Amino acid sequence: MFVRTATAQMRDTAALRAELLLEQRVELKKMTKAVCFVLAGSDRSLLSRSAIAAADRFDRSLAQLVTEDLAAETDSERAKALSELDAQARAVTLSARQIIAGDVHRVPMSLLLDDGADVGRALVTLSASALSLDKDKPGSTAAAHTMLTLIHQSARMQAMLRDACLNQVGLLGERGHDRMMSVQAEFEADLAALQTGDPDRNILAPPNVTARVLLGKVAAFWDKSRDTLVTASLGENVEIRALQKASIYGDLMDMNLKRARKAYMRTPPGG
């Protein structure tokens, strides 16, 4: 789930914690996507098991952050905010498990999305706060921003897949379509920047061949899933098989983005 190599353990704690908080946001989006697929899919048993696993991962990884098993939190205010967030996040997984158990009405799904959005925003805020305290250290410059962008790409992909599913079950709405198109634009812009480097976006070029190859794979999987997601963002229905295939490509993108981060850690950007 989380990238925890020996190199990561030696990296700046604030930068590592900022990354872990954003990774938790990715897990949140994976969970809401999985729950939506339970509503939209035909193989309820298989999809339910996948959604339960996603909810379990979210609970477990957040608990590790709260108990500081992964990276110690030295700021008392952030530690308090994270503890409060833990309670709010439990409401999210409670709604998720309610839907998985068979309550497929729109009310629990709406609660899941509303509470989940609040938790996601809080995770981004805490991540930015963790990094800002060490803004004068090398780890918080373009190199750190590049690493965080790789995580944001995973979150964006899972968000697009979730929204495509919500469109399928009639829960996305007009603002959701606008959001989906905006996320697509951000994903494509940052993907191009990651492949070549872009000083204007504070993104450094891949530091080695492995990272370049992995980002190329991400781009290839994006090309395969793009049409399905663009169609959904326009409010049009897509075949459930096409949506499931896009989800598989999305998970492959997530896997390659994680591997790319490991490649970056072996040769830090700008190092």
The model's confidence at residue 136, banded by pLDDT at 50, 70 and 90, is: very low
Q: Which two tokens stand for residue 243?
A: 């949506």
pLDDT at position 6, please? 39
Domains and CATH numbers, the chain: 1-138 (1.20.120.230), 141-271 (1.20.120)
Q: Which two tokens stand for residue 69?
A: 């098993």
- Using CA atoms, how far residue 230 sits from 182, 184, 233, 251, in Å, is 11, 8, 5, 18
**Closest by CA position to 125, among listed 25, 203, 32, 26:** 25
pLDDT at position 21, please? 87
Instruction: Give the pLDDT mean for 123-144.
Output: 70
- Higher-pLDDT residue of 227 and 66 is 227
CB-neighbour burial class of residue 268 (10 A; exposed 0-12, middle 13-18, buried 19+)? middle
The model's confidence at residue 5, banded by pLDDT at 50, 70 and 90, is: very low
Q: Is the pLDDT of residue 10 over 70?
A: no
Check if the beta carbon of residue 151 is closer than 8 Å to that of residue 209: no
- Using CA atoms, how far residue 153 sits from 18, 147, 168, in Å, is 15, 10, 23
Q: For residue 140, which phi and psi values (nearest 5 degrees)?
A: -105, 10
- Higher-pLDDT residue of 213 and 111 is 213
Instruction: Give the pLDDT mean for 221-232.
Output: 97
Helices 209-233 and 142-168 pack at an angle, to 10 degrees, of 30
Q: Is the pLDDT of residue 270 over 70?
A: no
The model's confidence at residue 230, banded by pLDDT at 50, 70 and 90, is: very high
Q: Which two tokens stand for residue 184?
A: 């697509």
**Closest by CA position to 250, among listed 155, 158, 168, 163:** 158
d(CA 141, CA 146): 9
- Higher-pLDDT residue of 1 and 187 is 187
